[in-house]
Amino acid sequence: MKLNDTGQVMRLQVFLAHAGAASRRSAEKLITDGRVTVNGRPVTILGEKVGEGDEVCLDGRPLKLEQRFRYILLNKPPRYICSSFDPQGRPLALDLLPAEIEERLYSIGRLDYLSSGLIIFTNDGNLASRLGHPRSELEKEYLVEASGPIPDRTIDDFKKGIFIDDVLYQALKIERLGRKSLRITLIEGKNREIRRVFSFFHLHPLKLQRVRVGPIRIGDLEEGRWRALTGGEMEQLGVYRALPEN
């Protein structure tokens, strides 16, 4: 395999990211979990480097560097899983993408099973790692409709920050849209953050839809439909093709 135009070696986790196996951070876990081999030898320690002629396998399947990178926006309907496999057999968001896409795609961040809205799929591990890191401070905007009236206290406490089970939850912005509806902007986006805060106040979101990730908006894209990111959107995300980092 030719790793890059200079023939230089690269770290194994970087190779996995550029082969579309996972984001950089997720690739590190694949290695430490013992799922990666180099020339038939299991590698579990980070820092291994590979070069031209090395065979890298994930779960026994040979990998190669991606020649084409995909950037796809999906409007995920409720009751779809953002994962490559579900032991319960629930439908996968990936199944809504066209079968002719040969590249192995994974989502940048996730939406829980009952939530809907914007999710970005890619095989660009560098982009996934960068946008998924807390340092990116990537804003995520949601529309929420509750089963009952939302008290002002819920909004005030979520803005100021509230500890639930020793975890701080704090929204960047909250706009009231109606007695039962809000527009909420998060930065860190902890797991099921909005649902946990609503549950704390004995509220239930009937609808939780993500409508924006950073500069990318879902617009009028229908549920269950997808489209490729535009050149302008990729530029806003800082997407550019360069040699892999060593």
Q: Is 88 helix (H, G, I), strand (E, B) or coil?
A: coil
- Could you give the angle at the alpha carbon of 151 between the alpha carbons of 145 and 152, nearest 5°? 110
The catalytic residue positions are: 112
Q: Give the Cα separation of 246 and 243 in Å (integer).
A: 9
- Concatenate the DSSP letters of all residues of 98-135 into one string: -TT--S--EEES---TT-EEEEEEES-HHHHHHHHSGG
- Cα 229 to Cα 215: distance, rounded to the nearest angstrom: 11
| The two structure tokens encoding residue 59 | 């779960």
